[in-house]
């Protein structure tokens, strides 16, 4: 049985829980797989750290937590330092290149671009940085199609923000593809 584990990590307020929920909806409702999405709140949450996890599988998911992470998004240096050790050999690490200056080293592929800056300056609203990041994670992980992920994004946002989120998702997807090709 295939099992694919994603972690979205960074700071509270960056929209990482929402990004995880939309990824899980894309995988289940639109892609026909099964998914579990979760977040733990411990002492670290009171320090402003945040992470959200998604497990995607073709069948029922017995253990709903990360065991060996396939793909990690790190939106802060602290998150990159803390979670890159759990990445599988051959996994993928996506970082915001403005916020993660000390790039973790390991047997995984690292992709970097200015995620928050793309939201702020190219989409026009910093608040959609999580959707830029989600578009990038969809491109890098290949667990759901671009079309299904876009449907999950657009069905999750208020009508007035559909175009903003569509643009954020597309730019994230395309910048990550370009950055991955190097």
Interface residues with a copy of itself (CB under 8 A) are 17, 21, 24-25, 27-29, 32, 34-43, 45-46, 60-61, 64-65
Coil, strand or helix: which one is 104?
A: coil
> Residue 44 or residue 122: which is nearer to a copy of itself going by CB?
44
From the list 46, 32, 63, the residue with the least C-alpha distance to 143 is 32
Q: Hey, how many other C-beta atoms are within 10 angstroms of the C-beta on 50?
A: 23
End-to-end CA distance of the chain: 32
Kindly state the DSSP code that residue 89 receives in the 8-state scheme. Answer: E
> Residue 26 or residue 100: which is nearer to a copy of itself going by CB?
26
Kindly state the smallest distance separating residue 34's Cβ from a copy of itself, in Å: 5
> Residue 156 or residue 170: which is nearer to a copy of itself going by CB?
156
> Residue 40 or residue 145: which is nearer to a copy of itself going by CB?
40
Kindly state the smallest distance separating residue 42's Cβ from a copy of itself, in Å: 5
Kindly state the smallest distance separating residue 179's Cβ from a copy of itself, in Å: 29
Kindly state the smallest distance separating residue 14's Cβ from a copy of itself, in Å: 15
| C-beta of residue 71 within 8 angstroms of C-beta of residue 48 | no
> Residue 37 or residue 118: which is nearer to a copy of itself going by CB?
37
Token pair 């509270």: residue: 12
Kindly state the smallest distance separating residue 16's Cβ from a copy of itself, in Å: 12
Q: How far apart are CA 54 and CA 32, in angstroms?
A: 15
Put residue 181 in one of left, alpha, beta given phi > 0 → left and psi -120 to 50 → alpha: alpha
């Amino acid at each position: 049985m295939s099992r694919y584990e994603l972690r979205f990590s960074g700071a509270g307020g960056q929209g990482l829980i929402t990004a995880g929920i939309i990824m899980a909806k894309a995988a289940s409702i639109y892609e026909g797989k099964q998914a579990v999405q979760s977040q733990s709140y411990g002492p670290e949450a009171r320090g402003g750290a945040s992470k959200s996890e998604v497990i995607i599988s073709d069948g029922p998911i017995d253990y709903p937590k990360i065991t060996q992470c396939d793909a990690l998004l790190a939106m802060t240096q602290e998150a990159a330092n803390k979670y890159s050790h759990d990445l599988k050999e051959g996994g993928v690490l996506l970082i915001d290149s403005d916020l993660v200056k000390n790039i973790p080293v390991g047997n995984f592929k690292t992709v970097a671009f200015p995620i928050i800056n793309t939201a702020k300056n190219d989409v026009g609203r910093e608040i959609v940085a999580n959707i830029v990041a989600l578009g990038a994670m969809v491109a890098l992980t290949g667990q759901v199609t671009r079309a299904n992920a876009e449907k999950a994004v657009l069905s999750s946002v208020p009508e007035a923000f559909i175009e903003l989120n569509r643009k954020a998702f597309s730019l994230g997807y395309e910048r990550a593809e370009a950055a991955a090709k190097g």
